[in-house]
Chains A and B, each alone.
Chain A
Amino acid sequence: MSVDTKTVKRVAHLARIALPEAEVERMQVELNAILGFVEQLAKVDVEGVEPMTSVTPMRLKQRADVVTEGDMADAVLANAPISDDHYFVVPKVVE
């Protein structure tokens, strides 16, 4: 399978990466090289094989449903590019 330029643009948007028109073609070539390489997996007989969900046999740990941390708004916001009154500031989302 290979991707056309339309698909490259769609995937860039899905991945939320702005892709200038001038870079689309090069990205297409590179993505197709990778997709061509992984194509060989079609040769593997996976009939009846379970997909791996955990690489080591382990049961997901559980803990008591209690608050163990919190009340650290200043620390959480310390690295924010823009914040105001303990909120992250983003461009207007709702009209």
Chain B
Amino acid sequence: MTELIELSLAEARDGLEAKRFSASELTRAHVAAVERARLLNAYVLETPEKAMQQASYSDARLRRGEARPLEGLPIGVKDLFCTKGVRTTAGSAILGDFKPDYESTVTSHLWRDGAIMLGKLNCDEFAMGSSNETSAFGPVVSPWLPPNWDRARARSTIIKATAEREVPQGLLVPGGSSGGSAAAVAARLCLAATATDTGGSIRQPAAFTGTVGMKPTYGRCSRFGTVAFASSLDQAGPIARSVRDCAILLGSMAGPDPRDSTSAEIPVPDFETAVSRGVKGLKIGIPKEYRMDGMSGEIEKLWAEGGRWLAQAGAELVDISLPHTAYALPAYYIVAPAEASSNLARYDGVRYGLRVEGRDVIEMYENTRAAGFGREVKRRVMIGAYVLSAGYFDAYYLRAQKTRTLIKRDFEDVFAAGIDAVLTPATPTAAFGIGEKASASPIEMYLNDVFTVTVNMAGLPGISVPAGLDAKGLPLGLQLIGRPFDEETLFAAGQVIEDAAGRMVLPKVWWE
């Protein structure tokens, strides 16, 4: 039944409704695909029994004609979402065998609507990373092969690396931090997946893997039960194989929540209907500041092409300026570590997770955190502690928060001038190799998020849609940025790009 895993979420939903197959058949096909794909390291925990149990309940509901919106649809969950009784690690050794006694609001919405959980997906440690290489579970391998690699070479590279406890050099990263989500969706190991985005962690991996990723407006999805990284920037969203599938999933994930005081008291619109709305009469802004040095010529060409597609569908292209764009990334690398250093103070060896004893309580904290946190997390927690420390607060944190006001104002100005959405590249390059940036300065990795991070700083919605392949045959994505709480326009414009570019042809299975 491998053809079942090739369906889109919408097709699977319609197939279940038409009784062409059962939820149990659909789920079994996915469970089997997940088991055969362990070389990719996309799942850090498989929950097949739970999945089959949920599927049999879904079949009973389908038989009774009581199908809920996501009835019987198998999805993957980024391991940043707390799942009741199911190990949740945030990709960190410090959480150890943590089994939450509660369910995140986002996942509880998905189960309420009948979705089925296949397991927990790998991610960068505490979502800090752009390549999924900081995970305590090791890197995720992208299902996309580098040029001239074949099945045998890829498989033997992974098997050898695993045996020698090395990383599989040469194969590609899926991006991060939602690397497991993006890889699993691209490799058809789930119909869609949950993900989170603090500086680009949904949109960058989506762009690297030829999938669609939507980061909604800050406040659209509740953050309750999602392991916190930087609370003023974190947002949950979907990664899927089509714009429509993202719209369907977000419709369930979103909604106000009394347990998150920053979740917006705004009704969730019918995102799926918005998908076919078109872009006639919309004004699409093309910001000159996103034309950066070192950007690949192919991405620049694709960006122009994306503009033409939207224009052909009836949109008007307008040159705009977002003058503070270049300052978003440096401001982010003050604000996000500052919030992280505060949020991650909770990992102290007392209430949950790892504990390493010391001579006194302070030494116990220090030993626990030294053993439990990986290098990237230590670096960011320390930067955060430094920029918040006495004497440096004004020069760093306060200045960064003022810069953030200016970044947001840039967007407010263009939206006030009538721009409906902004079109940019999603990333400056296509996917790079595992281990390729390991010895470089941390800044080189951070630059991956240069086009996506502005959106988080301004709290806006952004979608990444696959738009083509580069000369090496690797996927490239375009990003659309919208007004606050206007994800609908992004789904409409995203669909126009998907239609014009053609649905991405995903890599054939080599990992089984």
A34 and B442 in contact, given A11-B389, A16-B365, A56-B217 (Cβ under 8 angstroms): yes
Interface hub of A30, A54, A76, A92 (most chain B Cβ within 10 A): A30
Task: Determine how close the nearest CB of chain A comes to the CB of B404; give it in whole angstroms.
Answer: 4
Candidates A16, A41, A53; contact of B348 at CB < 8 Å: A16
Candidates B357, B382, B389; contact of A12 at CB < 8 Å: B382
Query: Please, what's the 1-or-0 string for A53-95, where 1 marks a CB less than 8 Å from any CB in chain B?
Result: 1111010110100000000100110111110000010111100
**Distance between Cα atoms of A30 and B377 in the complex (Å):** 12
Chain B hits for A42, CB < 8 A: 399
A13 and B405 in contact, given A38-B333, A38-B396, A79-B353 (Cβ under 8 angstroms): no
**Distance between Cα atoms of A19 and B399 in the complex (Å):** 29
Candidates B350, B361, B370, B400; contact of A41 at CB < 8 Å: B400
* B398 proximal to A (CB < 8 A): yes
Which B393-407 residues sit within 8 Å CB-CB of chain A?
395-396, 398-406
* A14 proximal to B (CB < 8 A): yes
Closest to A51 in B: B401
Task: Determine how close the nearest CB of chain B comes to the CB of A45; give it in whole angstroms.
Answer: 9
Chain A hits for B435, CB < 8 A: none
Specify the main secondary structure of chain A where it touches its partner.
Answer: loop
A58 touches B262 (CB 8 A): yes
Query: Please, what's the 1-or-0 string for A39-53, where 1 marks a CB less than 8 Å from any CB in chain B?
Result: 111111010011111
* B47 proximal to A (CB < 8 A): no
* B290 proximal to A (CB < 8 A): no
Chain B hits for A18, CB < 8 A: 363, 366-367, 369-370
Closest to A78 in B: B101
Chain B hits for A31, CB < 8 A: 379, 382-383, 386
Task: Determine how close the nearest CB of chain A comes to the CB of B479; give it in whole angstroms.
Answer: 18
**Distance between Cα atoms of A19 and B442 in the complex (Å):** 19
**Distance between Cα atoms of A61 and B262 in the complex (Å):** 8
* A22 proximal to B (CB < 8 A): no
**Distance between Cα atoms of A20 and B370 in the complex (Å):** 9
Query: Please, what's the 1-or-0 string for B367-386, where 1 marks a CB less than 8 Å from any CB in chain A?
Result: 10110010000110111111
Candidates A44, A50, A51, A56; contact of B484 at CB < 8 Å: A56
Interface hub of A14, A38, A54, A92 (most chain B Cβ within 10 A): A38
Name the segment of B156-164, B198-206, B324-332, B468-476 touching the other chain.
Answer: B324-332
Q: Count A-B pairs with CB separation below 8 Å.
A: 174
* B65 proximal to A (CB < 8 A): no
**Distance between Cα atoms of A37 and B262 in the complex (Å):** 31
* B362 proximal to A (CB < 8 A): yes
Candidates A11, A54, A63, A75; contact of B385 at CB < 8 Å: A11
Task: Determine how close the nearest CB of chain B comes to the CB of A42; give it in whole angstroms.
Answer: 8
Task: Determine how close the nearest CB of chain A comes to the CB of B300; give it in whole angstroms.
Answer: 24
B405 touches A56 (CB 8 A): no
**Distance between Cα atoms of A38 and B330 in the complex (Å):** 4
Candidates A44, A52, A58, A82; contact of B264 at CB < 8 Å: A58
Chain B hits for A41, CB < 8 A: 327, 330-331, 334, 396, 399-400, 403
**Distance between Cα atoms of A60 and B364 in the complex (Å):** 37
Tier of interface size on chain A = 35 or more
* B354 proximal to A (CB < 8 A): yes
* B355 proximal to A (CB < 8 A): yes
Candidates B217, B382, B396, B405; contact of A15 at CB < 8 Å: B382
Candidates B383, B402, B403; contact of A34 at CB < 8 Å: B383
* B261 proximal to A (CB < 8 A): yes
Chain A hits for B351, CB < 8 A: 76, 79-80, 88
* B458 proximal to A (CB < 8 A): yes
Candidates A17, A20, A51, A72; contact of B382 at CB < 8 Å: A17
Closest to B358 in A: A91
Query: Please, what's the 1-or-0 string for A1-41, where 1 marks a CB less than 8 Å from any CB in chain B?
Result: 10100011001111111111000000100110111011111
**Distance between Cα atoms of A44 and B396 in the complex (Å):** 12
Chain A hits for B232, CB < 8 A: 54-55
* B349 proximal to A (CB < 8 A): yes
* B510 proximal to A (CB < 8 A): no
Candidates A11, A46, A79; contact of B99 at CB < 8 Å: A79
* B341 proximal to A (CB < 8 A): yes
Chain A hits for B349, CB < 8 A: 81
Chain A hits for B404, CB < 8 A: 51-52, 55
**Distance between Cα atoms of A80 and B97 in the complex (Å):** 11
Query: Please, what's the 1-or-0 string for B440-451, where 1 marks a CB less than 8 Å from any CB in chain A?
Result: 011100100000
Chain B hits for A76, CB < 8 A: 101, 351
Give the A-binding residues of B (Cβ under 8 A): 98-101, 217-219, 232-233, 258, 261-262, 264-265, 324, 326-327, 330-331, 333-334, 341, 345, 348-355, 357-367, 369-370, 373, 378-379, 381-386, 389, 392, 395-396, 398-406, 408, 441-443, 446, 457-459, 484
Q: A31-B383, A41-B327, A56-B264 are in contact. List 17 more A-B contacts (CB 8 A).
A: A11-B382, A14-B386, A30-B442, A31-B379, A34-B333, A35-B383, A37-B333, A41-B399, A46-B402, A50-B405, A52-B402, A55-B457, A56-B484, A78-B99, A78-B101, A79-B100, A88-B351
Q: Can you report 24 residue pairs joining A to B where beta carbons are below 8 Å apart?
A: A11-B385, A11-B386, A14-B386, A15-B381, A17-B370, A17-B381, A27-B379, A38-B396, A40-B327, A40-B330, A41-B327, A41-B330, A41-B396, A42-B399, A50-B402, A50-B405, A51-B405, A56-B262, A56-B484, A63-B258, A79-B351, A80-B350, A88-B350, A92-B361
